[in-house]
């Protein structure tokens, strides 16, 4: 959904279609190591940073950033933000996309970050693209060389993997709709649309609530009220809304809930975190 005006921007912010995530504490974890270079149109960029992230409730992708400057963790966890930062000349490098449980030496999926580069490179076949690649025990290590027409990569790295616990349980249909995650989702949405942010805050983590309050100051009360009015008209209440919940993927102390409005191709996605007070809507 593309926000068309302030009310729609509030819709995106309030209902969590674009998700943020918590980072894991790096204490007592062996530090990352990286060496090599990224070359773009004849210019070399020495690689000095590596960051590995597996999105919550995602069993097929592990993202490894090898870059010339540190990419903020909050940006590295996002699909779009790294490309925006690269466009602003904040860093150069590559995002490597690896299967977290079945890495393939003969396959290379990579997103180069440099001016003019777009989309993902996918190369596969019978010959190895990696010299070595290992994933396990919350760590990833690899070595590869790639030579392309506009860019090349020579990298060797080892890094802790943050994000997903790697242990996921998927709830679908009635099981998802009757889950505690569904109850929090429905209660938070109802409070948000009919009472306001403070009432909805009882169902949010402190970080999520603070972010919402910050957005209220930025966009203003009129935009928020417009969002409430629109969503009251378009969002069914009670059991009708519950039936729109399709799936909940529980990933350790995090969960991702998906709901599909009637007749729509898109899904609304909400992340939840388990706290001492139970499940809460998270950033």
In terms of pLDDT, which residue wins out, 107 or 24? 107
Distance CA 256, CA 181 (A): 9
Percentage of the residues of the chain whose pLDDT score is greater than 90: 69
Average the pLDDT over 162-172 and give the result: 92
The mean-pLDDT minimum among 34-38, 143-147, 226-230, 256-260 falls in 226-230
pLDDT at residue number 59: 86
Distance CA 160, CA 23 (A): 12
The mean-pLDDT minimum among 7-21, 173-187, 239-253 falls in 7-21
Most confident stretch, 27-36, 111-120, 178-187, 213-222: 178-187
On the question of pLDDT at 89 being above 80, the answer is: yes
* 236: its two tokens: 């069914």
Q: What is the tens place of the pLDDT at every residue in 42-74? A: 999 999 999 999 999 888 999 999 999 999 998
100 pLDDT band, cuts 50/70/90, is very high
28 pLDDT band, cuts 50/70/90, is low
Q: What is the tens place of the pLDDT at every residue in 256-276? A: 999 998 878 889 999 999 999
Instruction: From residue 146, give the alpha-carbon distance in Å to each of 63, 119, 219.
Output: 17, 17, 45
On the question of pLDDT at 103 being above 80, the answer is: yes
Strand 151-163 versus strand 49-54 pairing type: parallel
Q: What is the tens place of the pLDDT at every residue in 169-193? A: 999 999 999 999 999 999 999 999 9
Q: What is the tens place of the pLDDT at every residue in 220-240? A: 888 888 989 999 998 998 999
Percentage of the residues of the chain whose pLDDT score is greater than 70: 90
DSSP label at residue 204: B
Residue of 17, 6, 18 lying closest to 224 (CA atoms) = 6
30 pLDDT band, cuts 50/70/90, is confident
pLDDT at residue number 7: 43
* 218: its two tokens: 């930025």
């Amino acid at each position: 959904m593309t926000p068309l005006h302030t009310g729609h921007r509030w819709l995106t912010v309030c209902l969590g279609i674009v998700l943020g995530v918590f980072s894991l504490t790096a204490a007592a974890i062996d530090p990352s190591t990286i060496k090599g270079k990224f070359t773009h149109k004849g210019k070399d960029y020495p690689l000095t940073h590596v960051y590995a992230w597996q999105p919550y409730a995602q069993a097929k992708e592990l993202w490894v950033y090898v870059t010339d400057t540190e990419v903020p963790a909050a940006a590295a966890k996002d699909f779009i933000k790294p490309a925006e930062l690269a466009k602003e000349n904040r860093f150069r490098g590559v995002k490597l996309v690896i299967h977290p449980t079945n890495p393939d030496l003969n396959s290379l999926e990579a997103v180069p970050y440099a001016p003019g580069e777009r989309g993902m490179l996918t190369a596969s076949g019978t010959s190895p693209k990696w010299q070595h690649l290992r994933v396990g025990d919350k760590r990833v290590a690899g070595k590869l060389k790639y030579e392309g027409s506009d860019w090349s990569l020579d990298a060797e790295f080892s890094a802790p993997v943050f994000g997903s616990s790697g242990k996921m349980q998927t709830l679908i249909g009635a099981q998802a709709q009757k889950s505690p995650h569904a109850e929090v989702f429905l209660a938070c949405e109802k409070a948000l649309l009919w009472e306001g942010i403070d009432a909805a805050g009882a169902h949010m983590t402190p970080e999520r609530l603070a972010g919402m309050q910050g957005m209220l100051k930025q966009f203003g009360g009129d935009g928020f009220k417009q969002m409430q009015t629109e969503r009251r008209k378009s969002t069914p209440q009670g059991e009708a809304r519950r039936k729109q919940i399709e799936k909940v993927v529980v990933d350790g102390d995090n969960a991702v809930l998906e709901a599909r409005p009637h007749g729509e191709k898109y899904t609304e996605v909400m992340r939840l975190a388990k706290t001492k007070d139970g499940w809460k809507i998270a950033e």
